[in-house]
Chains A and B, each alone.
Chain A
Amino acid sequence: MLFELTANPLDATRLVEHVRRDEAGAVALFHGVVRNENMGRRVLYLEYDAYPEMATKVMRRIAEEVAAKFPVTEIAIQHRTGRLEIGETSLLVAVSAPHRKEAFAACHALVDRFKEVVPIWKKEIWEGGEEWIEGETVESRD
């Protein structure tokens, strides 16, 4: 398994290669991409802050949770930090599994869980202002 935070552009090819196995017939790959609009505002760019030591630990924990629920072969997650322009990838989640159904389901579960618990925050910068986006507080950490 691979869990990384980096200030550099993310490399989907490398992530797919990392999870690919001869016994895995499916690789699901999710790209989280910086969008030019949010709540009616034209977004100029985003800035991501993180608690790096904890973020990679929590990524590993959610990967272990998901691997316990779905028959997956391998998991790799990367998130970028710092300033990201519109169209750039902030999050990559790659999952390999014997069959597509499990690969899709595990990838979906990982992205949902990631957004709930991994200590990473984004700030939206638009014309004339900026705001830290804060998600819903998650009551249960299990």
Chain B
Amino acid sequence: MRATLQTKVRLFARLAELTGTRETAVEFAEGLTAGQAFALLAGRYPHLNDYEGSVMFAVNAEYVPPEYILQQDDELALIPPVSGGAGAL
């Protein structure tokens, strides 16, 4: 039997509003990627599907590609397109 691992997931801005949470968790079997974790979360929170293709991923506060393989105790963050500063981009 494959071990079950867990990662904390953080959500911000519109993603936090759409899901009603700023923090959740995903349980997974070894080998799950950040992109696959997003698909699991989108199953739980269907609004997240709108962000497929535009969301970026961070693990432990660093950007990672969707292919990143999650480890036990990682902190995964879903990063919608950013808009810091003032005025138009």
Interface residue ranges, A against B (CB under 8 Å):
32-35, 38, 46, 48-51, 53-55, 57-58, 79, 89-91, 111, 114-123, 132-138, 141
* Dominant secondary structure at the A interface: mixed
Q: What's the nearest-Cβ distance from chain B to residue A16, in Å? A: 19
Residue numbers in A under 8 Å from B86 (CB-CB):
32-35, 46, 89-91, 122
Mark contacts of B14-57 with chain A using CB atoms, 8 A cut-off: 1 yes-contact digit, 0 otherwise: 10110000000000000000000000000000000000011010
Residues in A whose Cβ lies below 8 Å from that of B63: 58, 117, 141
Contact surface of B with A, Cβ cutoff 8 Å? 10, 12-14, 16-17, 53-54, 56, 58, 61-63, 77, 79-89
- Residue of B with least CB distance to A124: B83
* CB < 8 Å neighbour of B84 from A33, A53, A91, A123: A91
Knowing A54-B61, A141-B63 are in contact, say whether A120-B81 is a contact too (CB < 8 A): no
Closest residue to B89 on the A side, CB-wise? A135
CA distance in complex: A46, B85 (Å): 11
* Residue on B nearest A118 in the bound complex, by CB: B84
B83–A122 CB distance below 8 A: yes
Known: A115-B89, A121-B12. 19 other contacts (CB 8 A): A33-B87, A34-B86, A38-B88, A46-B86, A48-B84, A49-B16, A51-B77, A55-B84, A115-B82, A115-B84, A119-B58, A119-B82, A119-B84, A121-B83, A121-B84, A123-B13, A132-B80, A134-B14, A134-B83
User: Could you tell me the distance between the alpha carbons of A117 and B81 in the complex, rounded to whole angstroms?
Assistant: 8
Closest to A38 in B: B88
CB closest chain-A residue, reference B61:
A54
Residues of B within 8 A of A141 (CB): 63
Shortest distance from the beta carbon of B16 to any chain A beta carbon, whole Å: 7
Please indicate the chain B residues that have their CB under 8 angstroms from the CB of A48 in the complex: 84
